[in-house]
A = this chain, B = another copy of it.
Amino acid sequence: MNNRPLILISNDDSIDAKGVHHLAECVKEFGDVIIVAPDSPQSGQSSSLSVNKPLRITRHEGYDDAEVYSVSGTPVDCVKLALHAIVPRKPDIMLSGINHGSNSGNAITYSGTMGAAIEAATVGIPSVGFSLLHHSLKADFTWTTPFVKEITRRVLESGLPEGICLNVNIPAKVEPLGMKVCRAARGHWSEEYERYLDPNGKPFFWLTGRFCNDEPDATDTDEYWLAKKYVSVVPASIDQTATKAISSIEKLLK
């Protein structure tokens, strides 16, 4: 009987992304690794799931360090279907990423990487999403290794509070100075679309824009610490209820 921890890994950049295989390489010393990742890029897919289409599972051979599968769906589909039809037992931890690109600030709202982590936490599996602040497909993940190992080891040892997962962002092209637990910076995207005319003169639009930190002076946010070359660790709640606001909303509706 195998007593090694079972580590489920997914991502949103697809099974072909460098980041997901680097993640598996980082953590294989801690347990048996199963990768179940989307068969195509799923950036910006948030917690979306496929309600009206069939899903396929494909086994990929030729990997020494992990069992590797792809699913024809979103990151959430990957986690749900992995738990339903692939893993031999409940995973001890679920890791997502390493994403090619930042998921700091309010990007967690749109992030497929974090969608997968939130899904795992919903069914009681401690989970962590990792993102590198570099979009390139060829991004260098070298400096992520000690932080990914350390966080994974600690979460495997101690678990996480119920209903909480971690959103970890890692500066690119530099050895991080350390790790800071912090909150997500409030922000929004601006200048959001490029407008084009098609050959028939009809307009179409393409998402663009940039993240605007709405609280640039705050010193307790992920944006602040990432700019200072620290790894940011944001505990994220799977419950979106704004408990503190219940009484003020009661008054408002009375």
Chain A residues packing against B (C-beta within 8 Å): 41, 43-57, 74, 76-77, 80-81, 83-85, 106, 108-110, 112, 115, 118, 122-123, 150-151, 154-155, 158, 160-161, 163-164, 166, 179, 181-184, 186, 188-189, 192-193, 195-196, 202-207, 233-243, 245-246, 248-250, 252-253
Residue among A52, A234, A236 with most chain B CB within 10 A: A234
Find the residue from A81, A110, A155, A245 having the highest chain B CB count within 10 A: A245
Q: List 27 A-B contacts (CB under 8 A).
A: A44-B48, A46-B49, A46-B76, A48-B48, A49-B110, A55-B193, A55-B205, A55-B206, A57-B203, A80-B192, A80-B207, A81-B192, A81-B193, A83-B192, A106-B239, A109-B240, A151-B253, A154-B253, A161-B249, A163-B242, A164-B249, A166-B249, A183-B239, A184-B240, A233-B253, A235-B246, A237-B245
Please report the C-alpha to C-alpha distance between residue A56 and residue B193 in the assembled complex, in whole angstroms.
Answer: 12
